[in-house]
Structure formats: structure tokens, C-alpha cells
Structure 1
Amino acid sequence: MSFDVPEGLRYRESHEWIDPETGRVGITDFAQDELGDVVFVELPSEGDAVAADAEFGVIESIKAVSDLYAPVSGEVTAVNEALFDAPELVNDDPFGDGWMLELDLDADDLDDLLTAEEYADQIA
């Protein structure tokens, strides 16, 4: 099976992605496929601080409950509140409408993340 791995994003080995331009964070196409139907998402609040590699939330599917890990450190500047009423957006569009939060990020943290090519190799 082939998974969408957009260029220009950076990836954690634990399957979270971040857009370096916008600070938008979510989980990958591979991760949502592995989880199955997402039924609940717990996210931090706007203004909260998150630390790179630290848990920032929880995602629950019909198969499992998984922690979400911050790809970088920063302050939460936006939360996708649509996910509270429609968590299935994560399955339908993990890189679009299924985004989770936006961070005011420390760009230095991006150096520790995988490129699209490196992440694609990991999930191959």
C-alpha cells in the first residue's frame, strides 16, 4: 500500500508531521491508517507550551489509544476545534482538514526531524 508523504513537511519517527512554514501539526496518512477509525482527539489549549518529543495530546480510535508527540517546542497558537465534533477528519484528510494544532515554533528543532524522503523510507 502506498501512503501520502507530502514534500516540504518534516516528520517524527512516531508519525507526527509539521509544516515548517505555518507550524501546523498533525499525524501522517500512515498513522491514521494504522489507527483505523478515529473517534476522539484530546488536544492542548491555545496558549499552552509544548516541548519537542513530549506528549501534547491523545488520539483514540476503534483499535487503540495513542499519545501524540510534539515534533518541536513552541506555544500553541491555534487548535483545530473541528476535530472535537468530527474526529474522523483525521482519517479523511490527515494533511488538510485533519490538522491538530499550530505552533509558534523554534526552527532549530526542525533539524532533528525526518524529511519526506527519510520518512517514506521508514514506513516502506
Structure 2
Amino acid sequence: MSPEKKPQTMKAATAAKKLGIYLPAAPAEFQNTEISRTELAELTAQPPEWLATLRADGPHPRDVVAQKLGVSISGLARAGVDDALTSAQIKDLLAEPPAWLVTERATQAAVHAENARVKARNAERAQR
């Protein structure tokens, strides 16, 4: 007989990343426990109130902030944005964009355009 298998668990930081939340803003009981895959699936399927509030209002982790602002994570670092931002702060930045945000969004748009050009070129070459 084989021993009973132990359920796979992950650190709270990994679970927070998978849930798209900023770990320091999560409740202490979430931060201090390991999360099983079953618990993560349950949190995803039926998020508790604290999780829904964090996802909606923030503070958001850097990758989510970058996505909402339309810039790269590197762009945030270049601008000196190290802290997590709330949805209200992001909305304020988008309403009246500072110079760094305009520059970083233009850079991001140029990168996307170049990637599209290269992809189209490669597709054309593949057809030949």
C-alpha cells in the first residue's frame, strides 16, 4: 500500500501572484499560510469579499499597474513608481497623464508596432 499523498501547496506569494493581488494588502491569515491547489481553485471560483475588493480597488501589484497604465514594468521602474497603486490612483494618472506616462506609453506602442511588423514579415517569409 502506498502512503496517502500530501496535497500540493504553494507559498502565499505564489498564490497572490496567481490571483493577481498585492500580497501585503491581503489579510494576515492569507499571508501566513501555505495555499493548496484546491484552495486556490476555490478562491478563484468563489472569491471572498476581501479578494474581490482587492482585485477591484487595489492596491495592485506592479504587473497589474503596468497593464492598466499601458506601459511596461521597466517603464514603471524608470519613472520611479515603486509602490503599489490603487485603482483610484491609476485613474487619476490616466485622467491627467504626467510626462513620463506619455513617454512610456509611446515607447510601449512603438514596441508593439515593431513586434507586429516582425510577425507579419515572418509570416510572409513562411508563406514563400
Q: TM-score when scaled to structure 2?
A: 0.23
Structure 1 or 2: more helix by fraction: 2
Structure 1 or 2: more strand by fraction: 1
Which of the pair has more CA radius of gyration?
2
